[in-house]
Amino acid sequence: MARDPLSPDIDWPELLRRSFGPSFWIFVGIAGLLAVICYAVLGPDAFASAVDNDRQMLLDLLPRVAAAQIVAGFIWVLVPRERMSAFLKRNSGKRGLVIATAAGCVTPGGPASAFPFLAILAGSGADRGILVAYITSWALLGIQRIIVWDIPLMGIDFSLLRFLIGAPLPIVAGILARRLPFSVSLEESPPPIEPHK
Amino acid sequence: MDLGALIIYAAAVLLAIVAFARRDMSFRFGLRRALEQAITLLPRMVFALIAAGFVVKLIPTDIIVRYLGSGSGVTGIIVGSLAGLMIPSGPVIAFATAAALAAGGASVPALIAFLTGWSVFAAHRVIIFEIPLLGSHFVRLRMLSVLPLPILAGCVALFLTKI
């Protein structure tokens, strides 16, 4: 029986395969190896204090990260992606760069949603400044990443400072992309990818 | 509880209410996505944080302080940017490293340069998504366009934290 992709039921076997796949065991292996090295090099006392630090850090971070996942899940559901794409296509120039930066900032989801969106933009004729500004903004200022990673791990002051400093940078990158003396035309990129109907 | 945690908890409750008020499937889909992401991420994140904690314990604090600490100035920004460029993986490792470096005494400008360098280059994303979807010409153009950003961000941070 084919599974409905929009079914609210979770495909547990697939999900567990993904979360406890090879990369998980690599992380476990590296952590174990480093623990052994730490014990061998620094001795039992320093090892015990490292374990204590790790335990403190995890207890401190995990509840926030869990809440952050809930925020990210709802943002992903609530933001209208199709309307954003149409809006970006209609705007160009400096204003386009600002809009592209704002769009990148609010695009929810990881690279698996941002890059296909970028390809759709490229295929629909957005200029290279817009494309570079959009993806730079998503990477640098993506609200979801800030909520999930920056704030819980680095604190609110640091996150805010990083966001404020980063805010003009996608526009700088977009201007540079427009000025660079390259014969990069978008015809060189693969044919447009149709959004899923 | 600090302000950052408070904002996250409040945002979670607020968005849940908004999604629920729509009276469509938004609430269930949102929760489902949150659960899926948490289960996908958390196991790896726990061990990445443990590993990063040990790494920082192993790197003598004075080395972190000398190359990335508050006295490191522009050197710290350059070292931070280069370190960021060289992390070819997702946010799990990048942020675990950043948090551990912060605990080890790295300065704010160096950490901002590090995270900016990592976000705009992230080699794994280039290989998995960007080259297949947009082609290598676009990648070259984008790489050159974002090259100055980590240094720029670090220097602005240095300037802002000095005044």
Q: How far is CA B76 from CA A16, A97, A167, B79, B128, in A?
A: 40, 31, 22, 5, 30
Q: Quick one: what percent of chain B has pLDDT higher than 70?
A: 96
Q: What part of B 60-89 touches A (C-beta under 8 Å)? A: none
Contact A109, A186 (CB under 8 A): no
Phi, then psi, of A188 in degrees rounded to 5 = -75, -15
pLDDT, position A196: 39
pLDDT, position A35: 92
Instruction: Give A183's pLDDT tier (boundaries 50, 70, 90).
Output: low
pLDDT, position A7: 57
Contacts of A171 in chain B (CB under 8 A): none
Which residue has 């599974």 as its token pair? A3
User: Who wins on pLDDT, B90 or A98?
Assistant: A98
DSSP string, B9-77: HHHHHHHHHHHHHT-SSHHHHHHHHHHHHHHHHHHHHHHHHHHHHHHHHHS-HHHHHHHHSTT-HHHHH
Binary contact (B160, A165; C-beta < 8 A): yes
Contacts of A136 in chain B (CB under 8 A): 120, 142, 145-146, 149
Q: Which of A99-103, A112-116, A171-175 has the lowest mean pLDDT?
A: A112-116
